[in-house]
Chains A and B, each alone.
Chain A
Amino acid sequence: MATTKRSKLPHGSTRAISRRRFLSTTAVATGAAGMGWLAERKPPAYAQVRELTALALSLFAPPGDARFGELMQEFAKQAGCKARFDTIAVIQVPPKLAAEAEQQAGHDLVDVWEAYGYLHRENLEPLDDVLEPINSKYKFFTGPKECFQIDGRWKVAPWYWLAFPQNVWEKHWKDAKVEFPKTWADLHAAGKVLKKNGHPIGIQISHSTDGTAFWQACLWCYGGKVFEADSKTVAIKSAKTREMLDFAVALYNDCMTPEVLSWDDAGNNRFILSGKGSWTINPPSIYLAAVRDKLPAAKELNHLPGLAGPAGRHNTTYNHGLGLWKFSKNKDLAKEFLKFLYSEGKFDSWITAAGGFCMSPLEKYADNDVWKKDPKLAMLPSEGPYVHSSGWPGKPTQYVAAFDAQFVLPDMIAKVIAGEKPEKAIEWAEATTLKIVKETK
């Protein structure tokens, strides 16, 4: 039996240390220990195992997420820390980023795409020290550079970009005896026949992110633009925009059905997978879903390079990157992880796991076998030189974010379809964009 120091109580009896004395002694001891930790400004030993955390949207290709999580764990083992990779639905990411920025607390690395890099630029740690050596060694493509080099500094580490090829249901085209299009004009000509054959074409003219992206690519192909290269001067009111608008309305009237006016981002996916649609623009997710679910579309679908217009070939993309919060407590660890991620055998293994859905921002890994194994995916890397971020030839700034969020471009087209005069619709788009530039902080 353990011996206990016994104290003599005032009235003569003896018993174990009194409750009051025990409490006061332990309180003093705990307080002293706490003061010691506070004085050292370090957490207690048990909390010193650092945890690197990352947040991203759930990829369309789940094995890609799984591989990324594994890479984080591999890194954690090497670095003697813990790691956690959280994925959430794409729709939840913007409010989550806003909440973390506002609270100045949250994950260390966050999935930032397109204009969100610019929107959060003041809370993102510059990453030049990590990315410049990577750029010298493996070379980033121009698109991710344009998107994530903000005010001359790398504010986001490019992670992947999405290709938006033409998605065609080949049999419908063969049945209609029409050639696959190389230009928007070719598409218009073929689309008329396809629609008559009961297989219309379709892209969103609605409040959807994809709709804005597709029509902006069309605008570029016709020589139009929303902003000048200075990213601030509004350039949407032009003869080129009028030309594109007339074309878009004709394409809608002759080749599409009114359902495109109500589609969300997945509307064109459903349209193609149903077998009704003959053409759309989309990342390869439609095809990959058909392969995964063993649908007839897997056999029928193919991808073609993006379309050209009078002003050449241009296409849209979403550049995704990893931003490091300035308020992160693990900045050094996160930077080390980025170096680890970009290293040979790691980044390419993630690209492979993502099944060809995620395109490499680095030239070094653009030649991955994942795009060679399946001939229907083989053309995807060739889109690289033609893709631009929203707002091109300017940068995807806060103005672009507001322009996209207000769906100005698809609404401009929808207004003309609903009966408004094209010049009035363009004036409305210009006035709305000018207001955005004036009021957006």
Chain B
Amino acid sequence: MAPGDSSPVQSEALAATLRVRYTRRLADYLQQEHILGYLLLLPAFLWLAALVAYPFGMALSYCLTDIVVGRKQAAKFIGLGNFISLLNNEIFIQTVKNSFTFTVSAVTLKAVFGLLLALLLNKDLKFKRLIRGCVLLPWVMPVALSALGWKWMYDSLYSVITWTLNRFVLLVGMPALEINWLGQAKLAMASVIVVNTWIGLPFFAITLLAGLQAIPGELYEAAEVDGATPWHKFFHVTLPMLRPVLAVVILFSTIFTFADFNTVYVLTQGGPMNYTHLFATLANMFAFQTLDLGRGAAVSLFMFPLLMVLVFFILRLARREY
């Protein structure tokens, strides 16, 4: 019988059969892990493509041109011109030094104190949950708000830190201190490092705490049987077992710290004498205050190759088995 000859009832039956067949075929597809996996990844992929890959691609295309905000049509391809110009820029060179000092110091402090805090939180303390909640506060607070709080604590007139130090200093009969936290180059850098460490410490502490809790208790018991001291247990059980988590946390923190903007922007605007400028604050200055989008993009992407190398080595370290 030709298809055109079928009655409406037959057509509906055929449609129903096809529907069932398609549904089954779809179910069969979805039962294949490689298909379902990609499907489940799709929303996250689209999200990242829109919010990370697209801006990254734009920045990449901008940094190779002399684009100025609002004058897209006049932009010309200049290759590595922006990068070469930056390498001859004194403020940029200072910014590179600042960024390394800032990142290495802050990440080291966060790693050391974060680990200590995690070890402490791993003990059976009273009010354990409350303490863990409180530890998270600097992490959950908006960074700009924290930085504003610190700005008051570093204020030349109203600094609570100076006030507290002076209570001790006066007790021993010494003259009161006048500490210019944000006005002296080295002190200003130390001050912004402290703020970044304070903000980022909970990320280390809580993640490492999760890592600590995943270490099987049997390993410690076995070590004790072998006569291990607490130091031995820390260096030969805890630290090796934590290494993958620690590596990933250090990796994330290094990237976040290199990209920090709020702390410096709120506290010092890159001063005094550019001694606290970071890549993000300098990029902001070029892109939004002088509208030099190309150079702003070049500043923000300058560290990208180096960070890629760092990511490679840290992830390799995390995977290495002893």
Contact = CB atoms under 8 A, between A and B. Distances in A.
Contact of B183 (A101, A119, A206): A206
A244 to B, nearest CB: 18
Contacts of B69: 98, 101-102, 119-120
B184 A435 contact: no
Contacts of A95: 284, 288
Given A401-B290, A407-B271, A441 B68 contact: yes
Nearest to B285: A405
Interface residues of A, number: 46
B192 to A, nearest CB: 12
A119 B291 CA distance: 7
Interface string B2-15: 00000011000000
B85 interface: yes
A418 interface: yes
Main secondary structure of the interface of A (DSSP, over half): helix
Interface string A389-433: 000000000100110011100110011001000000000100110
A261 B285 contact: no
A259 B71 CA distance: 41
Contacts of B287: 98
Main secondary structure of the interface of B (DSSP, over half): loop
Interface string A346-367: 0000000000000000000000
A410 B273 CA distance: 8
Contacts, number: 123
B272 to A, nearest CB: 6
A402 B178 contact: no
Nearest to B289: A405
Contacts of A119: 69, 290-291
A435 B87 CA distance: 13
Nearest to B274: A411
Contact of A98 (B72, B88, B271, B291): B291
A84 B292 CA distance: 30
A402 B290 contact: yes
Given A405-B290, A418-B185, A441-B68, A261 B157 contact: no
Interface string A109-127: 0000000000110110000
B34 to A, nearest CB: 37
B59 to A, nearest CB: 13
A137 interface: no
A261 B70 contact: no
Contacts of B284: 95
The listed residue with most B CB atoms (<10 A of its CB), out of A104, A119, A123, A259, is: A259
8 contacts: A263-B156, A264-B151, A271-B156, A405-B290, A418-B273, A439-B85, A440-B290, A441-B66
Interface of B: 8-9, 66, 68-72, 85, 88-91, 151, 154-158, 178, 180-185, 188, 268-274, 284-285, 287-293, 295
